[in-house]
Structure 1
Amino acid sequence: MAERVVILSAGMGAGHDAVAGELARRLGERGAAPWIVDVLGLLPGRSGAALRAFYATTVRYAPPLYEGIYRAFFTPRGRPVADTSPVVVPAARALARLLARADRPPRAVVSTFHLAAQACGRLRAAGQLQVPSVVVVTDFAAHRQWVHPANDLHLCPTPRVAEQVRALGGGDARAPGPVVPPGFEEVAGGPPDAGYAGWFGRRAPGRTPVLVSSGAWGVGAGLARTVETLSRGGCLPVVLCGRNEALRRRVARIPGALPLGWVDDMPAVLSAVRVLVENAAGQTAAQALAAGVPVVGYRPIPGHGVDGARRMAADGLSSHVERPGRLLAEVTALAADGPLRRARIAAGRALFTADPAALVARAAGLADSPVATPHPPPR
């Protein structure tokens, strides 16, 4: 019987689920039996759904409120301590019951969301979780909710995030790189997808296609103005509107813009654009780094979005700009072939040094498998 590995995710946007799904796919290829659980569904009643709705509402309509919450409860202050908030305690209890009722005990539990990391750490510290607890950090800037000192291993997207985790009290922290599905690494330097490239070329001949991401929920401050700025500057803004149909209709009314709904083939889209403008420093940014598409962080969402955009820029992985005029200048510079573009592509792809799933498998004591999975250099 295949060894069970439990992967804890959360339906907060699509990024955490995307990472959990890719880890499950890779672990399945190694003969494991992955089981993905939404940690929000473990909370009593409908409190998990209420928490998700509150987050989505504050980010969309009251960003200063969410920024205040984030600074109060997520950013480091003083001596690092484990979270014992009312949200963590019921999640940990429900997780313990779930694991006790499972068809077989897991060999490891993997968290791709910070609430799950806190719940697992609490159980690990109490001796109620007897198998390794691995945390896969999905943010480009680690906040204190990602870290519980009892967790065994943190897998981070960058070396700087690993340093932050250790500074926050985490133990073993490594930086194998972000977790992205297959297909993105073949994009860098290769031919663009004929379908998307042809569509973009017919829509706006001679204009530079620039991808604008608003996340799965289609949120962000001043998205319409961002699109207008790029369009007036001679670009073709290709806008990922996620599941926000109202945003898609609004973007469709902007001259020179091309709105897209939910996209299943992101490698093909990224192959046909020159730059990504994004506002969350999340999964789309990680995919662009793997694909060799330069990233510009602009008007990021509050909290982890702001911190992630700043951290990516400080690490030389992206640009973080705040003014419309600077946005257009940065996009133009990165779209052009030259040393700046090549340096950004190389920095992004250099992050992918190992397979996080292989490190999970090793922590779980599963069959040995190669850990290093270097990406080919950009062509």
Structure 2
Amino acid sequence: MLRVRDAHAPRLLILSASYGAGHDQVAHAVRDAVLRLCPAADVPVWDFFAAFVSPWLNRAVQRLYLTSIKHWPQGYGLFYRLTGDIRPDSPFQRWLNSLGADRLLGAVTRYRPDAILCTFPTPAGVLSEWKGRGRVRVPLYTVITDHTVHSQWIHPHVDVYFVSSPEVARGVSGRGVDPARVIVTGIPIRGGFREIPDPQRAREALGLDPRLPVVLVMAGAFGALGGVPQIVATLMRVPRPLQAVVVAGRDRALAARLEALVRQSPVPMRVFGYREDVPVLMGAADLLITKAGGVTTSEALAAGLPMIIYRPIPGQEEANTAYLVAHGAALRARNAEELGTAVADLLARPERRAAMARAAWALARADAAERVARVILAGLAGGTGEPSAGDRADGRGGGEARSGTGAPGPGHGSRRRPGRGGPAVGSAAREERAPAPDGPSHEGRTGVAPGSAGEQGAALAEGREWVGRPGQTVALRGDGA
């Protein structure tokens, strides 16, 4: 038995992808929020590419993605632009919608979710295709994880889009989506950002000097920020008192290189690997140097932390940067010289840091995950699942879902469509089971421990079934059970 639960409890399936850590972080933030609001819910998170497309292809694409953004960002930017206006009925999009489609449909049919949420665009396209054919009839939600919109996020049978801002909402509706189907919630982030630690306590927890301003450098979960050694070297030359914390993520080679650098530094510096306590890190900091990922920047907004975006890569990061700079929450540094100037200026001008902190708080939506969870759970409870007047992005009620944001927070003072053939998921035929899709063992593919909720996707894709009827427990049963 993988997991025992009440068979009447709502089932929300979340589909993500591990290209960068942001999509997975959003998925788990929403899952955690749903479980806080409805502890009986079943909320597995499935890695779409690893479980349903190909484990080796997934690993190859991950490496290609990280290599391109580190060493050939212009190539990544070109790909982003070339795919920016692809129509949903184009041959390329239809091909994308075929990736892992049969295996995913088989697993979804066996699991029988009450709703599906996608935090990555490709599974949303696959499921939109199946909804158009009438094979999936449960609500399909998408969280757009950047401060901009790209054509890959837009699919005709997605029921609701959760977006970061009114600007993104207008971008989605400008691509032909009914504005009433777009809800401004913010980008879901981990729950710890609802209460940012006091700076002094955060610094004590990290072993930092409470008297010196803290510059935090975040290289991303996989060390994807380019030029981190140059950033460190630049901070050594800034003519202002400071201390630095550099988070290298899971890139051990980068961490080792940085450790060698900081041993020669006249400036106090600490190097960390991957950290989960990001609210503490941001709580301790006066200034953040980072790449322009949607999740990290949303976390910094919630912390009221001024940002310097260093060498944003062409594509969504450029667009994210433009949004943050336009609203006064960030500066852009294209090279080490601009970075050094910006750091020195902000450290010398606490009033400017305070203005940037206020701008960040004005954009922040630390409760985004809970807002997404409430809309979905309202639908599963028999409500419409639609936003209230104040949550809509169609011009009725201000176009945004917000509560208690925009004011200085804790921390730094300075700162269903019918279709053809086959039983449909969510239809009256939901008790019928589709044939088990073929596929290799899930071992080494899903990246989750046996017995965890994330194993459900791979298990169902292999033909092991979730069995149970109303009033009974639900168990994962293998072929010999």
Q: Fold match, TM over 0.5?
A: yes
Matched letter for residue 371 of structure 2: D
Q: Which moved more, 1:132-141 or 1:307-316?
A: 307-316
Residue 344 (structure 1) aligns with: 359
1:3 CA displacement: 1.1
| CA distance in structure 1 between the aligned counterparts of 2:380 and 2:289, rounded to whole angstroms | 38
| CA distance in structure 2 between the aligned counterparts of 1:70 and 1:63, rounded to whole angstroms | 10
Q: 1:138 to 1:344 in 2, by over 3 A?
A: same
Between structure 1 and structure 2, the one with the greater Rg is 2
Q: Kindly indicate whether the alpha-carbon contact (under 8 Å) linking 2:96 and 2:125 is maintained by their aligned counterparts in 1.
A: no
| CA distance in structure 2 between the aligned counterparts of 1:81 and 1:188, rounded to whole angstroms | 48
After superposition, residues 25-40 of structure 1 pair within 5 angstroms as 25-31=32-38, 32-40=41-49
After superposition, residues 188-267 of structure 1 pair within 5 angstroms as 191-196=200-205, 199-201=207-209, 206=212, 208-233=213-238, 234=240, 235-254=242-261, 255=265, 256=267, 257-267=269-279
| CA distance in structure 2 between the aligned counterparts of 1:367 and 1:148, rounded to whole angstroms | 24
After superposition, residues 296-375 of structure 1 pair within 5 angstroms as 296-335=308-347, 336-338=349-351, 339-349=354-364, 355-365=371-381, 374-375=403-404
| CA distance in structure 1 between the aligned counterparts of 2:346 and 2:201, rounded to whole angstroms | 17
1:62 CA displacement: 2.6
Q: 1:270 to 1:169 in 2, by over 3 A?
A: same
Q: Determine if the alignment matches structure 1 residue 187 to structure 2 residue 157.
A: no
TM-align CA RMSD: 2.7
Structure with greater contact order relative to length (CA < 8 Å, sep ≥ 6): 2
Q: Kindly indicate whether the alpha-carbon contact (under 8 Å) linking 2:246 and 2:271 is maintained by their aligned counterparts in 1.
A: yes
2:171 is aligned, of 160, 164, 169, to 164
What secondary structure sits across from 1:340 in the alignment? helix
Matched letter for residue 363 of structure 2: G
Matched letter for residue 227 of structure 2: G
Q: Kindly indicate whether the alpha-carbon contact (under 8 Å) linking 1:215 and 1:280 is maintained by their aligned counterparts in 2.
A: no
Q: Kindly indicate whether the alpha-carbon contact (under 8 Å) linking 2:203 and 2:209 is maintained by their aligned counterparts in 1.
A: no
Q: Which moved more, 1:315-324 or 1:90-99?
A: 315-324
Q: 1:45 to 1:378 in 2, by over 3 A?
A: closer
Matched letter for residue 280 of structure 2: A
Q: 1:63 to 1:95 in 2, by over 3 A?
A: same
Q: 1:85 to 1:52 in 2, by over 3 A?
A: farther
1:179 CA displacement: 0.8
1:80 CA displacement: 6.8
Deviations 1:45-67 (A, max 9, x none): 63223222221222233322222
Q: Determine if the alignment matches structure 1 residue 47 to structure 2 residue 57.
A: yes
1:301 CA displacement: 3.0
1:265 CA displacement: 1.0
Q: Which moved more, 1:347-356 or 1:19-28?
A: 347-356
Q: Which moved more, 1:354-363 or 1:114-123?
A: 354-363
Residue 68 (structure 1) aligns with: 78
What secondary structure sits across from 2:103 in the alignment? helix
2:119 is aligned, of 107, 112, 122, to 112
1:262 CA displacement: 0.9
Deviations 1:36-92 (A, max 9, x none): 11111211463223222221222233322222222212x236x67576253331233
Q: 1:282 to 1:342 in 2, by over 3 A?
A: closer
What secondary structure sits across from 2:208 in the alignment? helix
What secondary structure sits across from 2:129 in the alignment? helix
Q: Kindly indicate whether the alpha-carbon contact (under 8 Å) linking 2:214 and 2:284 is maintained by their aligned counterparts in 1.
A: yes
1:176 CA displacement: 1.1
Q: 1:362 to 1:304 in 2, by over 3 A?
A: same
Q: Kindly indicate whether the alpha-carbon contact (under 8 Å) linking 1:185 and 1:375 is maintained by their aligned counterparts in 2.
A: no
| CA distance in structure 2 between the aligned counterparts of 1:70 and 1:178, rounded to whole angstroms | 21
Q: Determine if the alignment matches structure 1 residue 94 to structure 2 residue 103.
A: yes
Matched letter for residue 249 of structure 1: A
Q: 1:69 to 1:373 in 2, by over 3 A?
A: closer
Residue 408 (structure 2) aligns with: 378
| CA distance in structure 1 between the aligned counterparts of 2:197 and 2:259, rounded to whole angstroms | 29
Q: TM-score, normalised by structure 1?
A: 0.88
Matched letter for residue 173 of structure 2: R
Residue 176 (structure 1) aligns with: 185
Q: Determine if the alignment matches structure 1 residue 147 to structure 2 residue 154.
A: yes
Q: Kindly indicate whether the alpha-carbon contact (under 8 Å) linking 2:219 and 2:249 is maintained by their aligned counterparts in 1.
A: yes
Deviations 1:152-195 (A, max 9, x none): 11001111111111112333111111211122132277654143
Percentage of matched positions with identical amino acids:
27
| CA distance in structure 1 between the aligned counterparts of 2:165 and 2:328, rounded to whole angstroms | 11
Q: Which moved more, 1:110-119 or 1:168-177?
A: 168-177
Q: TM-score, normalised by structure 2?
A: 0.70
Q: 1:177 to 1:334 in 2, by over 3 A?
A: farther
| CA distance in structure 1 between the aligned counterparts of 2:254 and 2:383, rounded to whole angstroms | 47
1:123 CA displacement: 1.8
Deviations 1:101-139 (A, max 9, x none): 22xx21110000111221222222222210111001111
